[in-house]
Amino acid sequence: MPELPEVQTIVSELDKKIKNKTIKSVEVFKFKSVRPMNTKFVQSVKGRKVLGVARRAKMIIINLSGKKYLLIHLKMTGQLVFTDKKGKGVSGGHPIPMPKGIRQIVAYPMSGEIKDLGLPSKFTRVIFDFTDGSKLFFNDIRRFGWIKFVDEKLYREETAKYGLEPLSKDFTFKNFIVVINRYPNRKIKQVLMDQTLFAGIGNIYADEACFAARIMPTRPAGKLTDKEIHSLYLAIPKILKLAIKHKGTSADTYVRTSGEQGSMLKYLKVYGREGMSCLGCPGKVHKMKLAGRGTHFCPSCQR
C-alpha cells in the first residue's frame, strides 16, 4: 500500500493534471467502489470543478466546487490513470498493465509479461470525464480501494479519524512524545503505523525510522528513553522528506502519475534488504513478522 511519500507524490502530480478542470460526466462500473453506492454518486459529482488535490494520511483528497470533496484510498491495488483529450495518458499508484500510449513502468517479477487490456479495462471501476476531453480512470484489481463523495461535515469527520501528520506544523516533539506515551505497552512500530496516532507512516518508513533512531521495532513504546524518542522524532520527517524528494519507493506495487518509478528504493537502509550487509555495521539485516507485517532491522545496530 502506498505510504505518505508515495501518496504525496501522486497528489502533487495529479494536482497539475486535473486542477481547474470541470467534470462533465461520471461512469461507475462497480458501485461497490464508490460511496454512496448508487446513482446519487454520479449525480452529485457531475458538473463540479476541481479546485485542487491534497492529501490526508494515505488518502487522496480532490477538492470540488460547492464545498464538496472526493476522498480516494488506493488500498492494496488501486490506481489512478489520467489521459488527455488525445488519449495519451499517465498513471500513478499500483501498476496495472496499460495499453500503448500510457507511459508506465510495470513490474512483473515472475513473468515480465505485460498484457494490453485497453481502457477501460476489466479492472476499471470509475471513469471521470472532463469537459476538455481528458479523463481520470480509477482502476482496482481487488476492489478494496474506494472513492467517497462527501460534504464539508463528512469531510471533517473522515479526516479527523487520522492522527498527527508527520510533516505538519503540529508535529512538535511535545505532541510526539504525548502520542508515543499513549500506549506504553504497544511495540513502537505498531504505534508508528497506527493511522489514528500518526497519519501516513506505513511498513516501509516505520522500519526505516526505527533503524535511523537505532531502536528495535519490537521495543514497547513505554520503555523508550526521552533521548530515543527524540531521535525517532527527528528521523521520521527527515526520512519522509527524502522519500518525497525521490518520488517514493517503487517495488512492484507503486508508480508515479508520470508513469515512472520512484527512486527511494536505493536509499532504504533496512527495508527489503534481508540477508544483506547492514549499512551501519558489519552485521546483516534481519527480517521477522510483527503484527503480521514483514519487519526489517539490524540486531547489532538497534536496541
Is there a catalytic annotation at residue 3? yes
178 backbone dihedrals φ, ψ, rounded to 5°: -65, -45
Question: Exactly one of 17, 48, 55, 58 is catalytic; which is it?
Answer: 58
Dmax over Cα atoms in the chain, in whole Å?
A: 61
Tell me 133's DSSP state. Answer: S
CB 275 within 8 A of CB 175: no
Task: Note the Cα 270 to chain centre separation in Å.
Answer: 20
Distance CA 107, CA 98 (A): 12
Q: How many CA atoms lie within 13 A of 236 on its CB side?
A: 28
Question: Exactly one of 19, 30, 245, 293 is catalytic; which is it?
Answer: 293
Residue type, 143: R
| Helix and strand totals (H; E) in the chain | 7, 13
Quickly count: other Cβ atoms within 10 Å of residue 60's Cβ. 25
Tell me 249's DSSP state. Answer: B
Q: Which residues make Cβ contacts (< 8 Å) with residue 75, sequence separation at least 6?
A: 1, 140, 142, 144, 145, 146
Is there a catalytic annotation at residue 2? yes
Q: How many CA atoms lie within 13 A of 255 on its CB side?
A: 24
Question: Exactly one of 2, 5, 166, 217 is catalytic; which is it?
Answer: 2
Q: Cell numbers at residue 232, please?
A: 525517532
Q: Tell me the helix, strand and coil percentages in the chain, rounded to 5.
A: 25, 25, 45
Catalytic residue numbers, as ranges: 2-3, 58, 293
